[in-house]
Structure formats: C-alpha cells, structure tokens
A and B are shown apart, each in its own frame.
Chain A
Amino acid sequence: MSVDMETFKQFAQMLPHLGENAQVTQRSDAERVGSAKEQFLRKLDNRMAIELESCIHCGHCASACHFYTGTEDPKYVPIRKLDLLKRVYRREVSPLRWLHRLYTDDITVKDLQEWQELVYDSCTECGRCSMVCPMGINIASMVNVMRQGMARADLMPRELMGMEQEQGEHESLFGVGPEQMQGAIAKLQATGIDIPLNKDRADILVTTSVIDLILFTDGLIATAKVMNHLGVNWTLRSDGYEAANFGLLSGCERVQRKSSARLIAAAKACGARTVIIPECGHAYPSMRWEAANDHKQRLAFEVLSISEFLGRELKSGRLRLNKLGRQRKVTFHDPCKIARHSGVIDEPRWVLDALGVDFREVDSGKELNWCCGGGAGVFLINSASDLRQKAFQIKMGQVAKTGADSVVTACGSCRLNFLNGKMRAGWDKEVESLVEMVAEALPGN
C-alpha cells in the first residue's frame, strides 16, 4: 500500500512553488530586530536561563546532529544556532547583564538573516543534540524560540511563510480547506469506506492532515478501517480536522494558537474524550504538549498519536491482528517529535510485534534515533534540499545496516522525506506506514 512514486513526483513538482504566494511585509531593520528581541524576551524563562548559562563549549552536540555530521561544516554546530537568543539573554536578562553588555554585541538584522539558515534549513528541532549534551541543554526547544523570533521579524523561509499564511488566513493548506476536505471524504465514502463526518456526538475525534487527503489517502482509509473495526464512536469534522500546524513549524505563534484552537473547538463541539493525531510528527507535540500552554488552559480530552492509540488498543486486547509474516523484513524509523519529544517509543514496537514481521531495530534507535532530515518543515524549504539529502545519507546507512527491505514509520513528513531521498538517491527500500500495515492485518480484511 505504499504511495505510488509517480503520484509523489507530481506532488514534489509543486513544492518549489510553495513560497510564491507568500506575502512579504516590508519593514525597517530596526522593526525586525525589535520584534525578534521582544519575542525572545517574552519566551525566556528560568529553565532557559540556567541552560544558556551552562554551556561549556565542548561541541559534543555536533556529534548528534545529522546536518553537522552530514556536512562537517562547523557553522552547523547545534549550540551555535542559539547564539542570538543567548546574546539577547546575556544583555537583557542574565544576572550578569551589567557585565555582559560591555563585550556582547546587540543583535542586528544581518545576524537574523544569517541565522535564518541555521534555525530553519539546518535544524529539524529533532532534539538528538539534547541527548548528548553533558550539561543537559535542551537546544531544540530553544531553536523553536529562535524560529519564533525570526517569524516575528518576518524572516522565515518563503515556503513556510506561504503555508503559515494560508493556514492562518484561509484555513487551508495546499489549497485544501474544509470544503475540499469534505469533497475528498465524499469521494472516499463513495468507494465504500465508512467515514463518519461531522457527527454531533463522538467519543473520539480523529484528525487528519492535508498530506493524507491529497497524497497518503491510504493512511486515512486505514485509520477509518481500524476505527470501524474497533467499533468505537468516532468522527472526522470539517470544522477541525487539520492536525498539521504551520504556525508551530514556522514559528508564528498566532497561527499556532489559531490552528490548535480549531481542533480544541471541534473536540468540544462533539464532546470527544480523545483526539487522535494522524501520522504527522510535529502535529502530535503541537496538540499533546503545546496546545494547553498556547491557550493557557488544560485540555478537556486526551491526545493520542495514531501509533500510540494502536499500541494501546493492542495491549488492552481490544485489537487483534493477523500476522503479516516474517518474510517481511522491516525496520522502524522513530519520528523525532513522536518518540524523542513525546515518549511514544514502545507502542509502535508492540504493533510491529503483533504484526509478526521480521523487525530489525536500527543502531542508535528509539530516543536516540537519527532524524531523517525533513522534519520541522525542512522538507518544504527549497534552499535546504542538498543539505537535507546529505543528512538523509546517514539515515540510509542506518537502515542498510539492518538488512531490512522496508522502513516503517508513523509520520507523514518522514515519509515524504524518505520518498524524496529515495527518488534522488535511487534507493531500493520501500517506505511504509504503520497504520496502513495494521489495516492490512485486520481480521477479515
């Protein structure tokens, strides 16, 4: 059930044009710097203070970074990506600011422009660097703050700007809004797939993403099949279906809040106790960890990634699967945002175990897994294309060592990046979706 490469190629041809519709605001340099600094200062807290005070400049974080390892270019050392935030901290917040101001330069628009590549093109916020830092500095979370500062200064890549503006202003992505979504679901329903749309009351609100609507429709169909097989009371709602959050990816907090607000409202409208996030890496932390803080209130429902949900259903015995057979040699790619950032590590392995496939763990897997290079929106950034491919070489090597024929994952962005990397490198591995494999193994399928 892997996606057809021709369809993917057509999709890929659209990507270089993503930034063309971005509305770039003309602002003075002083305004840009002021906005970026204001955002940094708004976000700096005592956790970041301790971490920014702690760095011993050992450079160990570089060893964990796929962009540094793939290029060996020192400018990609992860901790350096925080330099501007650190400078603002040292001059404005640090207890030693009266001293630091004597020798720490204020940030300039030139700095912001230079750092744009460092916090967008060459950082997927994968967080692997945090796992090696001897001082325990959470670099990825602060790179996100750097992105927020960049976004406030209107200095983000055009591709992400275009997507963020489309989602914020038109409630659509790739031209797919609520109306197109309903059309796409109607088409699937016409093929006999039961997808309960816009139910007034449901226990589970299933969300999807534009990628599942236009490219990985098998993933959406598979999710529907699993839900129907389990006999749960679920729905998909056109007033809150898009799990992808380009506000989070681009650093635009306003759109981040707006996007998660739609899902919260949809869950509230149907009384859902559970919201399921599809195979979309960043979408999971966006709702699971960020949404409550974005809206300054605890969520009235639990948030589960689809792989987490599947694992939980298997463990509880409510879901039973046919064995797909050990002739299928697979490895699993842990999506950084779902595994390392969110602790969903065992659940997909329970699923693979239940599927009875020949599962081969990668070296440096689970919370230490290498990022595929396409996360945090990097897959969509045209200027990051070559850099991304260099990082992907590490992933290819990691997979090759397992001897597996296919890579299973639970993230649409990872799948896109794998397919792109496969296309560019002529790679012979298949790329599979976990939920699609589960649907394939449903009894009676």
Chain B
Amino acid sequence: MTLLDIARGPALEWSLIIFAAGSLWRLVGALLVRRMTDLSEPRSHSTVAGGMRTVFTRMWPRREFYKQTLFGTVAGYAMHIGLAVVVFLFTPHILFIDSMFGISWPGISNNLVMFAGTVTVAALVALLIRRLTTPLLKMISSADDYISWVMTLLPVLTGMLAYAHLGGPYQTVLAVHILTVEAMLIWFPFGKLFHAVLWIPSRAQMGAAFQRRGVKA
C-alpha cells in the first residue's frame, strides 16, 4: 500500500469519522450543559429575529470600531474567501467530492484557484505576523492559535505545490497534501477551527439575549 493509498483509504476514513464524531460531541456537549430559565419580563419577544439579525450584522464591524478591527477583518475575509474558493471551486476537489457524495458543480480556472490560494497564504502570514507582533494578541494567544494556523496553511501550501508539481514526486506531494487535509479534519473539533461551527449559535444567542432586553446587538 503506497502513501497515497493510505491517504485516500484508511486515513481519509478515520479522519472523517473523528471530524464528524468530534464535532458532534463538542457541539452537543456544550449545548447540553444545563440551561437557565430567565424569569424576568422581556422587553421584546422577537428574540428569534434578534438572534438571526446578529448572526448577519456581526459579519462586519460597526463603523465605530473600524480603526482597530479593519485589518483583522479584511485579512480574515481574504483568508476565508480564498480558502472557500480553493476548497470548493478547484475542479479536482469537486471531482473528489462528487466521488464521495455524488454531488458536483462547475469549477473555475486553475489560475484563479492558484490566485485564491496565494491570497489565502498571504493573509495567513499577515495574520500570524500581526499575532506575533501585537502585544495584546500575544497576551491572549495560545498553542491552539498556532496549531490551527499550521493546520490551515499546510493543506493550501501542499495543494499548490502538488498543482505546480513542485516539492518532490507528484504522487508523494499529493499524498502529503491529502494527509495534511486529514490532519486538519482531525484537529478541527479540538481547537479553534471549530469556530466554523460555533459562530452561528454564539452570535444568535447573544443577539437574542440583547433583543430580549430591547437592544440591537
């Protein structure tokens, strides 16, 4: 069994199992922590609408906070959008998803995907430099931040190398690329990458809580 066979076979299966089971465990586990009932008289009953609104309004900081948040927000969006383009619009990825789940959609040109990958890597590097050089970010950073950074960067970087036929024999680089994706999937439920799941319930519950008190959050 070659490295590529392992990557495409048991490693993929196990990483997906850990990804799904771990994510479910963490989300359901947090939701199942006991719930407190609020007996105060609400100012507004439109808590669902308030929660939904905050899910969307927190996608961009309010003008009052631009000065300190704009860099992080723009770099964050560049990284996330670039990553989404690479993952979901690169034709070989779509073919892979099709083979796994039987669904597909049109891809975009490889040059555009490479550009998106470059943007992602550049944004990740910029965010890391900022984290390492800003005292307040250094103060609140943990190993999770750096592990999650590596786990995000490696699949993009190895994917670009595989596409460009750089870094060694294609089959080996491709296998390494798939293994880095699997490492990311395994890490996903245990570190801060899990914010990709939590951003909706977290924003929604805060929006609902503020709406209950008559405040648009």
Q: Could you list which residues of chain A lie within 8 angstroms of chain B, going by C-beta atoms?
A: 44-51, 53-60, 62-64, 68, 74-75, 77, 79-80, 93-96, 99, 103, 130-138, 288-293, 296-299, 302, 339-345, 363-364, 367-368
A77 to B207, CA, bound (A): 22
Summarize B's interface: helix, strand, loop or mixed.
helix
Q: Could you jot down 12 A-B contacts, CB within 8 Å?
A: A46-B30, A46-B33, A47-B35, A53-B194, A63-B67, A103-B143, A130-B206, A134-B58, A293-B38, A298-B39, A298-B41, A302-B41
Say which residue of A54, A75, A93, A339 sits within 8 Å of B199 (CB atoms): A54
- Report whether A343 and B31 are in contact in the complex, using a CB–CB cutoff of 8 Å: no
A58 to B76, CA, bound (A): 10
Say which residue of B29, B134, B204, B214 sits within 8 Å of A136 (CB atoms): B204
Contact flag A58-B34 (CB < 8 Å), given A64-B65, A342-B213: no
- Report whether A364 and B195 are in contact in the complex, using a CB–CB cutoff of 8 Å: no
A135 proximity list for chain B (CB < 8 A): 58, 195, 198-199, 202-203
Q: Could you list which residues of chain B lie within 8 angstroms of chain A, going by C-beta atoms?
A: 25-26, 28-36, 38-41, 43-44, 54, 58, 61-62, 64-65, 67-69, 72-73, 76, 134-145, 190, 192, 194-195, 198-199, 201-207, 209-210, 213-217
A296 to B202, CA, bound (A): 26
Contact flag A62-B29 (CB < 8 Å), given A74-B138, A293-B40, A342-B213: no
A55 to B148, CA, bound (A): 13
Residue of B nearest to A48 (CB): B33
- Report whether B32 and A136 are in contact in the complex, using a CB–CB cutoff of 8 Å: no
4 nearest CB pairs, A to B: A95-B29, A343-B214, A63-B68, A136-B203
Nearest Cβ on chain A to B154's Cβ, whole angstroms: 19
Contact flag A44-B65 (CB < 8 Å), given A53-B26, A135-B203, A298-B39: no
A293 to B215, CA, bound (A): 20
A338 to B24, CA, bound (A): 39
B65 proximity list for chain A (CB < 8 A): 60, 63-64, 131-132
Nearest Cβ on chain A to B61's Cβ, whole angstroms: 6
Contact flag A45-B26 (CB < 8 Å), given A50-B202, A77-B139: no
Nearest Cβ on chain B to A141's Cβ, whole angstroms: 8
A367 proximity list for chain B (CB < 8 A): 215-217
A75 to B62, CA, bound (A): 24
B192 proximity list for chain A (CB < 8 A): 55-57
Nearest Cβ on chain A to B179's Cβ, whole angstroms: 22
Say which residue of A46, A58, A138, A339 sits within 8 Å of B72 (CB atoms): A58
Nearest Cβ on chain B to A260's Cβ, whole angstroms: 12
B35 proximity list for chain A (CB < 8 A): 45-47
Residue of A nearest to B199 (CB): A135
- Report whether B72 and A68 are in contact in the complex, using a CB–CB cutoff of 8 Å: no
- Report whether B29 and A74 are in contact in the complex, using a CB–CB cutoff of 8 Å: no
Residue of A nearest to B141 (CB): A57
Nearest Cβ on chain B to A422's Cβ, whole angstroms: 25
